[in-house]
Structure 1
């Protein structure tokens, strides 16, 4: 991107288009999102607006998580004086890179231009609130955070800062803060949810009862995930289980959450979400039989809801029935073939069941046409897939393929581990040609050292350096290293022979490595 930016800033548009053509002519990168949007930006400068928008929209579709794509789309909107659209694009870019000085500068200029002082003032107020707290001026800080809550009552950080400013000494005082906010914003969720963290006993039961009823009536799928942090407290788990089991019985008999006159009749979907919640709760409590009972009841109630089959698959996975788990996800994937999340989850469960070829076929629905899915996933550095593949091959005793996947994740495993177990020749001859993602990420630093200092993006630069310093503590690297170590230990303790098979590892090379 540095080359394109240089061409754009110095108005070397022909050179920029030349570089874009070189990259996009490569079959591996002909749909590279950031290259497409930069080409579109240059085309816009040349007055070719239709082509520009076509390239930028195409690039954005291919990489929705790129701050560069959103930023460039905002620049195009700004050039056409669509300032509101440009502000929206800049905000989306900041969601992906919130410390980017250039995007912040462009956004602030547009907000001033449009006199969007509220949006501009929000950042200023947040900074003032933090400073007041640091200086011990709690009353001033409280005013600031109350004003911020007027703008956004769903920002959890504001509540934490307001509590620091008001310094409540008892649970009742703390609860009163949230009750006051709830009266002003009755539809806000956080003033109802946060007190559940610190309330206990009867107070907790009353509060969670009201919270559960509202969520189950609306049909909020992530309700269980929302309440999961409370399950560290056994009393709270028991209270929630008791309440929801009561809802289940009462809904089946009377259609209400509680069998009382003042309790309103609920829609038929409320019982579905109660079944759904109970299935997840009992799965969390390792009571698989009960969990399956309630998820089956939910599927019988509404057999077309994808989330039910996903949860059923999770229950089977936790019960170590991997075959049934992947079949549930396969059924969910069949209900909506365009859902990437369900597709990825299905592939993951297939790999854990040892169905590597089938998982590759599932993933091929969302990889580039004309390129083998495994190759395309490696290009995109899809490390969760490679890790799962490595584990699957290891369990199937295909040690060569397992090591191949581990070394695709990082070549340091290639350099260090084999020497520890005296099988360096084996790995060096077999796997040196494969990509190594973490090493590539580390080497990419070279492109940023001079660029960040020249552009004075020092906060982002320090963040990058800190990330690179702990890069190999990432979960994906740890899992790949662990898998490789387990394979090497097994090969060291149980050398492969012609009789027991060697899984794609040339026997001559293997014997030479151990000679």
Structure 2
């Protein structure tokens, strides 16, 4: 390493270097590059200049060349804060935040008071949730720039995030005390004051928070009137003030359909809507009816009243509510009332009300005086939804056919008929129904999206892409590529599931990986807000965002993706030959050739667009530090299938589920499957215990308990101490040592002999223990017993199990399922499904073809 003195440049070159820094800051990249070259002609090993040139080249799109220069500059001068700073910037652009922070820490060793490095370090510490270090960094920034408002607010937020609310309050009060010359109606200052109120409320200082709020509201320092009203109502309720009732009433009058305001009003009166008792029921109903009379146009108090009443009173209120909704033709009426179906008595009452109304309208043929003529139609629609929710899909289809005969031009009827057919196990008929709904309004994006979704459910992926292409960018490589850029989780998860159902594991993993990428981008996107939110003083929203990001991967799309993708990785670990089989879509079949040709066309189109953009782009434009999207060299996902570390990839996917999906038993089952194969037996036991707490009789848990005992007993070596004894004791609590697996399985089957899922799980355990195939087949076929409950999903799982075991009776079981589920098409043979698939894909030809909408957004 050269001595620090070698860093010093002669006066002329030192001036040029300062010019390089200014040109970079002003984004005059081309001039900055020329100036750097002037220095390097005389001093080719000057580390700081090499790093700056590399940074400029990176911004100009010459990324690889730029990074090599930065690394060369680092080797030339390891004691320069500029070199470390540049290296940190490069790593930050690659989203390698931990390494970037290490680089900034090194830079601060050689320049402890560099504001830019300190500020970037604070952002990285927030991104990585290193709040102790964040407090120290913010303290340093405040000491260096005490006149900058962001320095004060940054330290307040750092203390808040670190859980030290007392210090956050002290700093905030000091900031407000020294603040001068605040303009009137200053929104940024108003946001800080609202944050102060929020902080006091969080600390439990309700009285002080209310006083502070009133003072600043009267002086017009706080300009958000709705926020003032909401804070006052909450704080007054906390303090049990008489004025609280009036505050909540004012909010309700302003927004009479906000459930939260009614809950707040009732809570202020000692009534918890989520835990109504006999003592509070009458009082709550009286209050809600008063609001219904005072604000007749408000639906919220009428709907909330249905939650708390029962018996004859419920029938009276429900009749008025349901009749009004049907008369207005509210399509979402059933979705609004569905939560009441948890109470069987209320469900039956609603059924009686609507059936009675339907009978009257059907007999009279004319609606009652003063009612809308479409009442009969919406009554039939509601009843169809009602019976479908009760799994009486035959009755639902009869009502829908009657509705379509009555009014054949209402898209909602065809859309819901598609949903009913989907529940019946007929994805092809469902796709046809959505096609019929779509052509009734070709400009409706919702219907087109729904149609594409149902085509994906039917497995006609290319045809679904045609529909999606009606509203995606015309210059995109493909509709799917545009939707992936737009982070459409609906599209990505549905297409991934479609590929999985079709047996194309490679493309399924590829799309599941795209979902994972979307969530990574969500996580990365917060980085810019660490600085922006403090500059704009939107502190309350910023803290909400931090909280949201912390539980980001509890989103249903991520949980679903993590579970399904992990199952594929586990499958590949158990049988690596799958990667080369036809089921994986990895062979040189027509599907792969088609996908490769499609990918080549898309890549060519993207290349042309890049050239076109480059021709019209200024040579000095900043192309950013982030790496450009990599070329897709795996269009079919076959390389992804051949990954050497499937279990490690699965473990990374399910890691967030330990805390963010703790109430999802399927997540724990998947965590067990991954952990036990990685020989992480403590994690496996914890997963089993967590699943047992959620549902001790779950069929998949039963199978895993047997699998774990079998795995431990057949392992060549027992787990080392002290882990071995811990695992042994934990398993003994779930499956006693004196109980053999065979006896355990027999007891479970006897206890759940009428549950199809339990019967299938028992058969799988028998096969695990080496039972003869004919015995296992007999067990599986017992799901057809008259007293056994069997749904389509369980039947498909059972069929898949028999096929996996290469059972000679698999086709017999398929035929039995086909007879059992008359409206289903998923149990048809391959040739029949191919015909149905073709009909579903080509149904638009009957409907007039795929038409371009007149108005495309």
Q: TM-score, normalised by structure 2?
A: 0.41
Q: Aligned with 1:366: secondary structure?
A: coil
Distance 1:367 1:161 in 2: 43
CA RMSD of aligned residues (A): 3.2
Distance 1:336 1:237 in 2: 34
Distance 1:318 1:246 in 2: 27
- Answering whether residue 346 of structure 2 is matched by residue 224 of structure 1, we say no
Q: Aligned with 1:496: secondary structure?
A: helix
Matches within 5 A, 1:426-437: 436-437=517-518
Residue number among 411, 428, 445 corresponding to 1:340 in the alignment: 445
Matches within 5 A, 1:118-197: 121-137=225-241, 139-167=242-270, 169-197=279-307
Q: TM-score, normalised by structure 1?
A: 0.67
What are the ranges of 5 or more consecutive residues in structure 2 without an aligned counterpart?
1-24, 29-60, 62-186, 195-219, 272-278, 589-637, 646-857
Check 1:454–1:192 CA distance in 2 against 1; reply closer, same or farther (3 A cut).
closer
- The range that moved more, 452-461 or 505-514, is 505-514
CA contact (8 A) 1:219 1:270 kept: yes
Check 1:465–1:161 CA distance in 2 against 1; reply closer, same or farther (3 A cut).
closer
Q: Aligned with 2:459: secondary structure?
A: coil
Check 1:505–1:472 CA distance in 2 against 1; reply closer, same or farther (3 A cut).
farther
CA contact (8 A) 1:255 1:266 kept: no
Distance 2:189 2:328 in 1: 37
Q: Deviations over 1:234-255 (max 9, x none)?
A: 0000001011111111111135
Check 1:451–1:394 CA distance in 2 against 1; reply closer, same or farther (3 A cut).
same
Match of residue 318 from structure 2: 208
CA contact (8 A) 1:403 1:484 kept: yes
Check 1:469–1:256 CA distance in 2 against 1; reply closer, same or farther (3 A cut).
same
Which fold has the larger relative contact order, with Cα–Cα distance below 8 Å and residues 6 or more apart in sequence? 2
- Answering whether residue 578 of structure 2 is matched by residue 496 of structure 1, we say yes
Q: Deviations over 1:430-471 (max 9, x none)?
A: xxxxxx222222233332223333443332332222222222
Question: Deviation above 6 Å: which 4+ runs of structure 1?
Answer: 12-15, 505-512
Matches within 5 A, 1:74-473: 121-137=225-241, 139-167=242-270, 169-255=279-365, 264=369, 266-371=371-476, 372-410=478-516, 436-473=517-554
- Answering whether residue 566 of structure 2 is matched by residue 485 of structure 1, we say yes
Distance 2:375 2:361 in 1: 8
Check 1:103–1:307 CA distance in 2 against 1; reply closer, same or farther (3 A cut).
farther
What is the Cα deviation at residue 102 of structure 1?
A: 5.7
Distance 2:410 2:284 in 1: 40
CA contact (8 A) 2:580 2:587 kept: no
What is the Cα deviation at residue 489 of structure 1?
A: 2.7
Check 1:490–1:135 CA distance in 2 against 1; reply closer, same or farther (3 A cut).
same
Check 1:160–1:244 CA distance in 2 against 1; reply closer, same or farther (3 A cut).
same
Check 1:122–1:404 CA distance in 2 against 1; reply closer, same or farther (3 A cut).
closer
Distance 2:643 2:234 in 1: 65
What are the ranges of 5 or more consecutive residues in structure 1 without an aligned counterpart?
1-11, 16-25, 27-100, 109-115, 258-262, 411-435
CA contact (8 A) 1:256 1:265 kept: no
Distance 1:297 1:102 in 2: 59
Q: Aligned with 1:489: secondary structure?
A: helix
Match of residue 49 from structure 1: none
What is the Cα deviation at residue 481 of structure 1?
A: 1.9
CA contact (8 A) 2:188 2:536 kept: no
Distance 1:217 1:362 in 2: 34
CA contact (8 A) 2:579 2:586 kept: no
